[in-house]
Amino acid sequence: MDATLLANVTRVCPFLARTPVSSLRALGVSVSSQSSSFSTNCEKPTFVSKSATTALFSAAQRCPIMKTAIAVQAIRRISNSPAFRQAVLRENESRNTSVPFPFGKPIPEKSSSKPVNVENILGKIYPAENCPVSSKSDLDTESAGRSSTFDYEQFYAEELDKKHRDRSYRYFNNINRLAQAFPTAHTGTGEHVTVWCANDYLGMSKHPLVVNAMKETLDKYGAGAGGTRNIAGNAQLHLSLEHELADLHKKPAALVFSSCFVANDATLSTLASKLPNCIIFSDASNHASMIQGIRHSRAEKMVFRHNDLEHLEQLLKSVDINRPKIIAFESVYSMCGSIGPIKEIAKLARKYNAITFLDEVHAVGMYGNSGAGVAEHIDGMDEIDIITGTLGKAYGVVGGYIAGSAGLVDLIRSYAPGFIFTTSLPPPIISGALTSIRYLKKSQTERFGQQSNTVKLKSVLDSMGIPVVPNPSHIVPVLIGDAETAKSVSDELLHKYKIYVQSINYPTVAKGEERLRITPTPGHNEELMGKLVDSLSTIWKERGLKYVSDWEREGGRANVGVGKKVKQLVDLKKFGPEVAMTA
């Protein structure tokens, strides 16, 4: 069904107005895929819709109002096409008779000396007063206009239809996390659900120290920054935060951005475009922000297989050692949970005269004695040239940053449009982030609680044979292997069991590796974990979803079913009994 038509009638159709969105989604699932064509090889010419058949389309055809509207739209599309007119004329010449219209009743025969009259065809099926095309001249005028102008709305609809057909269209659930009932949220209908997939890994967004600091700053400095960093938006709070971040990563300087997507994009695009004849070596699983920055730099790039040191070295060997090089990679890859070989990549960088760009977005606050990330945990921060991180995940607020040498940071500050030409973060946000960083530099309680719950959940799911993608980090990816099924399981968890776990589909993960991404927090107690495990167990049995043994028989997928065992990066024993007791 035409997407624009559907959007318009939703506002006036009683059925669409009262039917829940979840039901409409279910009805809108394609049951067969067809292509657009106009055929005259049968008694009655037929038109096959561009869109796949859906239950929603079938329901619309039974509606007396929508049935007519659909037919009118179809007639207008067909009648305006040269293919339709040529087909009618050919049929007329071959049979010496008029042609029955595709959607209507037979038209009385006409003299073979007269050509087929499209206006008469339309008029016999729909009275003139009801027909959107009142005359052949109108039809020709509209057709000529369409052929010479670009139809923007049709383009939007067709692009979105591609997303629906390949099952990559994104649905955003209405989830409102409750600070005083973490990790509970309410949906758009007011129902309470437990959130199991947020990136607020440590629950710092609701921590009293963070919230109170933001309230006090709001009262003192107001809601907004007032401008860019260059124009009225450069406060002492911003400078203090950058000093704190530089100290966190043991670097001479740091720079704060509106998000880490912007930080990665701006830094890579600016640096690689400034370095003469620069080439970037990028891990195949790098985040979209890094890919975007590389693309915007217009520098040459080489992509090495995920965490494959041998492949990376082969590529580095192929380039002149004196040519400027950047190796861009991550510490924790958020969709599979794997961890980059930081020290080994740094060693290759030194060997082949490259600099390193490490994204610690999913690691800052989570790993290391002071929460500086995996590089701190393995004692490798001094081996990395540029570290990027976020204030919006473990730190619970919003924003991004880079840390590196004073010269590097000043270069980005002076040249990066993504930093220069955007309003700086509001004072309350900066204050909350500053408070969160300082707190997590000292407190181990939240990190222990999160890691402990991760270990428990992975262990229980593993004992049940539910396929968790093996990894050493805090991410718990549960493999499903099909986009439609992953979305359906996510919906069932939300609506039936009041558990929110987002499904992850292409292009975020490869096709056939669709999954649920679960992220335990310190707030997910044994009762909540029991409900999640029981729900997943029931769904796997009722739906006949694949267990680890099933993937093993198929040769494995996404490292599931290949006998791979991975040890957690964090050893809980190293936290000590005092931390364990307070967690």
Q: Of the listed 325, 393, 487, 546, which one is catalytic?
A: 393
Query: What distances in angstroms separate CA 541 from CA 57, 481, 544, 547, 558, one per listed residue?
Result: 32, 16, 5, 10, 22
Kindly give the interhelix angle for 118-125 and 136-148, rounded to the nearest 10 degrees: 110
Kindly give the interhelix angle for 3-10 and 152-165, rounded to the nearest 10 degrees: 100
Give the ranges where 249-287 is alpha helix by DSSP (H).
260-274
Cα 144 from chain centre:
40
Query: What distances in angstroms separate CA 431 from CA 212, 278, 549, one per listed residue?
Result: 10, 37, 50
Report CA torsion sign: 103, 109, 112, 118.
Answer: negative
Half-sphere exposure (CA, 13 Å, Cβ side) for 118? Answer: 21
Among 358, 332, 328, 306, which Cα is nearest to 559's? 306
Question: 532 and 499 in contact (C-beta within 8 Å)?
Answer: yes
Helix (H, G, I), strand (E, B) or coil at 528: helix
Among 548, 518, 499, which Cα is nearest to 456's? 518
For the chain, the 3-state helix, strand and coil shares in percent, each to the nearest 5, are 50, 15, 40
d(CA 66, CA 43): 26
Does residue 487 have an active-site annotation? no
> What are the catalytic residues?
393
